[in-house]
Amino acid sequence: MNKKKSFFDWLFKKKKKKSLDIKKQSIKKKKNLYSKLNNITNNIFKKIKHFFSNNNLDKNFFKKLEEELILSDFGVKFSKKIINKVRVQVNSQCITEVDNAYLIFQNILKKILSKSPPYENNINNKPHIILIVGSNGVGKTSAIGKLTKKYINSGHSVVLAAGDTFRPGAVDQLKKWGKINSVPVISQLLGADSASVIYDTIQSAKAKKIDVVIADTAGRLHNKISLMQELKKIVSVIKKIDKNAPHEILLVLDATNGQNSILQTKTFNKYLNINGIILTKLDGTAKGGVIFYIIQKFSIPINYISVGENIDDFYSFKNKNYLDNFFFKK
């Protein structure tokens, strides 16, 4: 009897230790994530924070703040709009301390962040088909690698379509991500018809009952119109298999491109029905103001942000609370 009791004691302690270990691991993971996000915050707002702590609310204050915002890629008109809002509140509340003006400024930005429409990634179709589009070099293929891991982690099977048949090396790059995630990549030779590669991939996914198809596409063809036509053709070929597909068309934007990202969004959205945005390279820019500009200008959700070249440097934008916390942490 005693032996039995001590065995159960031992088993209980072992289980408790294991659950503590798991807890510790997840805390460590969260800490890493927070410090990474904190670094981005510093990038985006370093200059602005510096500005607020090095200036008084004198008569030139708003003009100088406007310049800061424009330099941080908030856009000229949008910067003016934000400044006006700050000015109205500062005046009506008779604020004289720059710290209080900073709080007002942060609250205005928080409100903009909270306006980003929610991103619903319910998988109601099998296969769920995602088309990744965007200009050359913005981070499409890398984003596919990182997104694949997210789906694998949530228990879904994935197949990748090497739809960038234009750039030499693009297929190999996608295959590398396929290997890292242990998922198949369907490809043809360089110069092959992109729509046909994606069509084959979807057929293969159907035959093998794979949950998610993520299709890469080329970023640069000889001109903008031909790229858009190629993408429209891909969409119509996909519709031959499932008229409701692609279920998501995600536009990848490079945050370091600043205002150019706005033009890209306009162009891609004119030709395709963009469902969501992946904003990449937020780690490499002090000009992240574009994220606010995109949110206020387009009613397209920001689905993910990418903050580095590693597979885990990829965060859902859904959890606004922690983003809020880290965008604005002192």
Ligand X SMILES: Nc1nc2c(ncn2[C@@H]2O[C@H](COP(=O)(O)OP(=O)(O)O)[C@@H](O)[C@H]2O)c(=O)[nH]1
**Binding residues vs ligand X (CB under 6 A):** 134, 136-142, 173, 219, 280-281, 283-284, 306-309, 313
Residue 129 CA to residue 141 CA, distance in Å, equals 16
Nearest distance in Å: CB 206, ligand X: 26
3-state secondary structure of 75: coil
Nearer to Mg ion, 170 or 202 (CB): 170
DSSP 257: G
| Residue 238 site contact among ligand X, Mg ion, none (CB < 5 to 8 Å, cut-off depends on kind) | none
Radius of gyration (Cα) for the chain, nearest Å?
24
- Looking at beta carbons only, is 242 or 309 nearer to Mg ion? 309
Nearer to ligand X, 79 or 275 (CB): 275
How does DSSP assign 109-164, residue by residue? HHHHHHTSPPP-----SSSEEEEEE-STTSSHHHHHHHHHHHHHHTT--EEEE---
> Nearest residue to Mg ion, using CB?
141
Q: Which does 162 bind (CB under 5 to 8 A by kind): ligand X, Mg ion, none?
A: none
Give the residue with the Cβ less far from ligand X, 86 or 160: 160
Q: Which does 127 bind (CB under 5 to 8 A by kind): Mg ion, ligand X, none?
A: none
Nearest residue to 194 (alpha-carbon basis) of 252, 147, 131, 277: 131
Q: Which does 287 bind (CB under 5 to 8 A by kind): ligand X, Mg ion, none?
A: none
Give the nearer residue to ligand X in terms of CB position, either 62 or 271: 271
Provide, rounded to whole angstroms, the least separation between the CB of residue 252 and ligand X. 6
Residue with tokens 């033009």: 263
- For ligand X, which is the closer residue by CB, 75 or 139? 139
Per partner kind, with CB cut-offs from 5 to 8 A, the member of ligand X, Mg ion, none near residue 178 is: none
Residue with tokens 């929610």: 118
Strands 302-306 and 314-316: antiparallel
141 binds Mg ion (CB under 5 A): yes
CB under 5 to 8 A by kind: which of Mg ion, ligand X, none does 308 bind?
ligand X
Contact 78, 298 (CB under 8 A): no
Q: Which residues contact 260 (CB under 8 A, 6 or more apart)?
A: none
Minimum distance, C-beta of residue 26 to ligand X, in the bound complex (Å): 24
Task: Find the distance separating the first CA and the last CA of the chain, reported in whole Å.
Answer: 59
- Residues at the interface with Mg ion (CB under 5 A): 140-141, 164, 170
